[in-house]
Structure 1
């Protein structure tokens, strides 16, 4: 197939991923509006994003199996349609339970898009070039965060809840139509047509493979901190707790994407040139994020702007660095189960994001209800600094498990 045709296929796939990121991250700048609209506390508010991520993470394994069976084109169309339906539901919701249900539909559809894009990259591009394309396309897709942080936030403030989420939903329907007419699966696509028993057998093979588990823990460790910040708690922390102007908060959230464009190519090149040292990259990024959080959390009172910027830059590195997980899978997992394996791996970051997001909401509510820090506001700086250490604990579990599984994969080579 000609290069322009392949470019159209991959371009349509990355457009669908770009839109899915908009659908996924739109609640990040809408958290304060949602608290007002539904008159709810922190734990209940966190359910808007946490339920979405729980469904997303739970669907990664079935989505991976479906990918191996049906191919990327059908799943991108299906997933894009569902994310649009989900945000349409959110647009018309007047009560929190219906909005949560809508976000769960968004999470269900979103689960199919990214791993399908990865399949298309691996199908149409080979060798180290696939690693560079994976990093580039992940960064291009993350431009959806800028759309959520700035144009969507403006729409939400000017047009209101319904029109803003309705327009976001319409983009998903456009992405589905584009995928239907432009995307083609790779000609040598491998399909599994066996029974559910065969699918479960392949799932057990993936879980038993320490290479899959090692890559899972890479994604678990590096993805969550940035996702928690973007998808729910970052905007409230910046605006309510640190008293950052809303315009600057939107710019800071959108800067995650710029960090990815700068750092992503460097990280992918390091993975290509030094594959035996990818563990050092994982450890270094974990250390940078942990140091940034400790600096912010241990500084008394409101943090100076340079510390907040450093935090945003540090956790912003985690997203592109988590793509090393898929470089591990590309180089160590057989292609016939790469789709289902990548589904397991991709769930890692969103499992940890769900855990952090929900527990932060619970801690914020407990601090407020117990009066532990006095008569502080629900989203006070002191309450956030009491709740955010949850992330450090989760990340530390992830890095420990990564090295445990790395030891097992090293033993297999001996």
Structure 2
């Protein structure tokens, strides 16, 4: 643990900010790569001659790989550190996006997106680990929100600008140029990023049995599960909208031009930045009520989607603006899941905890994406070019299933998590009720009960 190691650099000062800027730039690139198919979806359907289900499979497989790698990535992160995983993630994403640029067959493109998901899986939790190491506890919630929301600038670049580039430069040149950005950031990571402000220690070798036990301990903690279900419930609607079905819904369902749809996605991302700052302050001020904040945002999303889907015809533009903003608020809300996990996990196991939390939202996202694709193909067998508003109204109702499941689980594990803190860490709940952050003192076997 860091308490027994010599501190070499200041925490929360200039060096920490420089490291964070480079690391969050890598996350922005990961979000850009992840979001690129959302704008290019209709072009991809024509390029690879695929149906709605096959188009959804691109992103679903990418997220399956992303979610499936979270536990191994968390273990590797705890052992080798954030810098090594950022380098590995950058190299993998760069090669994958370059392969996607030159893909002409559905199979080759699918493999490229799967590799992209593998590289993407290494980035976000690594940046969060750097935030935990380099910033003060009181800075943590706001820095976590800033990380998530500044990273969404990658989605802005993947909206209108990428759409324009695809029409001006074509598929291959656009994605090849995008892949080259990884080379520049790789140099920055190698020169700037350090894992910790404390002296470096050699990776600790751990037996497979002990490793399995440590993962079980983290997963058995109700705080980890509360964080995961918070992430599950709040993130998926934004991810589904931004990565795949939002652009087709706005163009084919609501009758907007591609430029107007891209602008709405940009507005959504801009709102994410603003709401993330506000939510970061709320979470810092009211740590005991974090789960209720998440549930309130989820309820608002469900209400707005109900209004839009029941509207008699295409919804007016102001209502669509409100819809994308409220949906975008799910991004900052999902970040609360990581803040919850941090309250129940010491730093040396935070990689595993954050990996487990991160599975939640992406599991919900890939299930929702796939279900929407299946419903659209059932409604309209002729393919993406024939989708209309009625088709999207039915398909997008799939979201309510996952909102309902997630809300029940949040309420369930909130009760268990509070009881856990009362039992294992007396005084922690009272501290959070007073608006004070709870700093985890370290693991005991009872943590996982």
Smaller-chain TM-score range?
Answer: over 0.9
Confirm whether residue 171 of structure 1 aligns to residue 177 of structure 2.
Answer: no
Q: Does 1:63 align with 2:73?
A: yes
Q: Which residue of 1 aligns with 2:393?
A: 385
CA–CA distance in structure 1, aligned partners of residues 257 and 385 of structure 2:
18
Q: Is the aligned partner of 1:405 residue 2:417? A: no
Cα distance between partner residues in 1 of 2:307 and 2:147: 32
| Aligned CA distance change for structure 1 residues 249 and 376 (closer, same or farther; 3 Å) | closer
Corresponding pairs, count: 410
Match of 2:296 among 284, 292, 295: 284
Question: Normalization by structure 2: what TM-score?
Answer: 0.89
Asked if 2 retains the 8 angstrom alpha-carbon contact of 1:46 and 1:357, the reply is yes
Match of 1:305 in 2: 317
Distance 1:323 1:294 in 2: 25
CA distance in 2, matches of 1:228, 1:48: 13
RMSD after superposition: 1.6
User: How far, CA to CA, are the matches of 2:161 and 2:384 in structure 1?
Assistant: 32
Cα deviation, residue 257, structure 1: 2.0
Q: In the alignment, is residue 197 of structure 1 matched against residue 209 of structure 2?
A: yes
Matches within 5 A, 1:181-260: 181-188=191-198, 191-260=203-272
- Structure 2: where are the runs of 5+ without partners? 1-8, 424-449
Name the SS for the 1:193 alignment partner.
Answer: coil
CA distance 1:292–1:397, change in 2 (3 Å): same
- The ranges of structure 1 where at least 4 consecutive aligned residues each deviate by more than 6 angstroms after the TM superposition are none
Tell me how far 1:193 sits from its aligned partner. Answer: 2.5
Q: Would the alpha carbon gap of residues 156 and 377 (structure 1) be closer, same or farther in structure 2, given more than 3 Å must change?
A: closer
Matches within 5 A, 1:137-156: 137-156=147-166
Deviation at 1:201, TM superposition (A): 1.3
Q: 1:321 to 1:376 in 2, by over 3 A?
A: closer
2-structure distance, mates of 1:168, 1:358: 27
Corresponding residue number in structure 1 for 2:60 = 50
Q: Distance in 1 between matches of 2:187 and 2:359?
A: 27
Give, in angstroms, the shift of residue 377 of structure 1: 6.1
TM-score, normalization: structure 1? 0.96
Does 2:361 match 1:320? no
Asked whether 1:273 is paired with 2:285, we answer yes
Asked if the contact 1:74–1:180 (Cα under 8 Å) also holds between the matched residues in 2, the reply is no
Residues of 1 paired with 2:287 and 2:54: CA distance?
43
Question: Cα deviation per residue 1:237-282 (whole Å; 9 max; x = unaligned)?
Answer: 1112211111111111112221122111111111111111112201
Q: Secondary structure at the match of 2:313?
A: coil
